[in-house]
């Protein structure tokens, strides 16, 4: 299977619960739709492609669910140096910059239209200068030789099953080649979940929300691929996953980085 199957009806709320409303951009109505989307504590105006071959055109439901989870666990991400993979419209990154003043860089496929649209959405929502952006196709050489992002995030990026190996290759580089932005060791971020359990995010870590409906067999290919590549996968609840590298001892055994 080249592309994971999902139900189009699952991509949008019912009219009663719809989090967005919008009309076509009069200046470019053949190419874009501009909508107002409700995020926790704010409303963002996001220009979306009417169609994009790389599915960078819409905000998927997982974006809103992930935003809510991040707000609930904000002590875990405040002060982090963050990179978002598969940014699409840039809405989640814009939200996090406005809410938390998060130091965040967007990234997506090496496509000029995506970069320009994210910049447009930044400006419309009062983010100037616009967020830094990296054009990167998963699996290719990463443009930054010494990645210093201690938190990588993504939402609903597991659509293309054939790209799992390339995505894992990019994650391995970002996580295992990580070099801290400064020499000062910062404390592990923790917060309390309902139920009294704490969330501890190592540096570096990949934090991912996955809400799209695909077959469990396809979904497991990504997580098992991560584990086979020497990464550890932990479900934090609410379909949010933390992926981090394992440390290798001198005798070749792998131990968990905590």
Is the residue at 2 inside a domain? no
| Residue 38 lies inside a defined structural domain of this protein | yes
Per-residue pLDDT of 51-85, as tens digits, reads: 656 555 678 888 999 999 999 999 999 999 999 99
Is 22 inside a domain boundary?
A: no
Q: Considering the domain boundaries, does residue 108 fall inside one?
A: yes
In this prediction, residues 76-97 reach a mean pLDDT of 96
In a domain, 19, yes or no: no
pLDDT at 17: 44
DSSP string covering 163-179, please? GHHHHHHHHHHHHHS--
Domain span at residue 125 reads 30-180+201-245
**Is pLDDT of 130 > 90?**
yes
Residue closest to 125 by CA, chosen among 68, 57, 46, 56: 46
Asked whether residue 59 is domain-assigned, the answer is yes
For residues 28 and 107, is the Cβ–Cβ distance under 8 A? no
Q: How many domains does the chain have?
A: 1
21 found inside a domain: no
CATH number of the domain enclosing 39: 3.40.50.150
Question: 221 lies in a domain?
Answer: yes
Answer whether 231's CB lies under 8 Å from 172's CB: yes
0.85 cut: is pTM over it? no
Query: What integer is the mean pLDDT of 95-99?
Result: 98
Whole-number Cα distances in Å, 59 to 56, 198, 203, 248: 8, 30, 28, 38
User: Most distant CA pair in the chain: distance in Å?
Assistant: 64
Mean pLDDT, rounded, for 102-127: 96
Asked if 100 and 77 touch (Cβ cutoff 8 Å), the reply is yes
**DSSP string across 17-61:** G--EEEEE-TTSTTTEEEEEEEETTEEEEEEEES--TTS-SS--H
């Amino acid at each position: 299977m080249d592309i994971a199957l999902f139900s189009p009806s699952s991509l949008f709320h019912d009219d009663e619960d719809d989090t967005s409303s919008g009309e076509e951009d009069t200046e470019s109505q053949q190419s874009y739709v501009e909508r107002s989307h409700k995020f926790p504590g704010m409303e963002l105006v996001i220009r979306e492609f009417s169609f994009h071959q790389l599915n960078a055109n819409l905000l998927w439901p997982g974006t809103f669910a992930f935003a809510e989870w991040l707000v609930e666990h904000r002590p875990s991400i405040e002060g982090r140096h963050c990179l978002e993979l598969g940014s699409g419209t840039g809405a989640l990154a814009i939200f996090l910059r406005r809410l938390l003043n998060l130091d965040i860089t967007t990234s997506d496929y090496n496509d000029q239209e995506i970069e320009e649209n994210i910049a447009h959405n930044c400006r419309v929502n009062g983010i100037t200068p616009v967020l830094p952006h990296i054009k990167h196709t998963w699996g290719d050489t990463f443009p930054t030789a010494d990645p210093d992002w201690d938190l990588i995030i993504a939402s609903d990026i597991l659509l293309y099953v054939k790209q799992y190996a390339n995505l894992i290759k990019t994650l391995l580089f970002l996580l295992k080649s990580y070099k801290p932005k400064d020499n000062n060791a910062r404390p592990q971020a923790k917060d309390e979940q309902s139920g009294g359990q704490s969330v501890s995010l190592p540096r570096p870590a990949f934090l991912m929300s996955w809400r799209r409906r695909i077959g469990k067999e396809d979904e497991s290919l990504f997580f098992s691929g991560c584990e086979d590549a020497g990464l550890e996968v932990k479900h934090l609840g609410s379909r949010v996953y933390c992926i981090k590298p394992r440390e290798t001892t001198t005798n070749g055994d792998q131990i968990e980085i905590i």
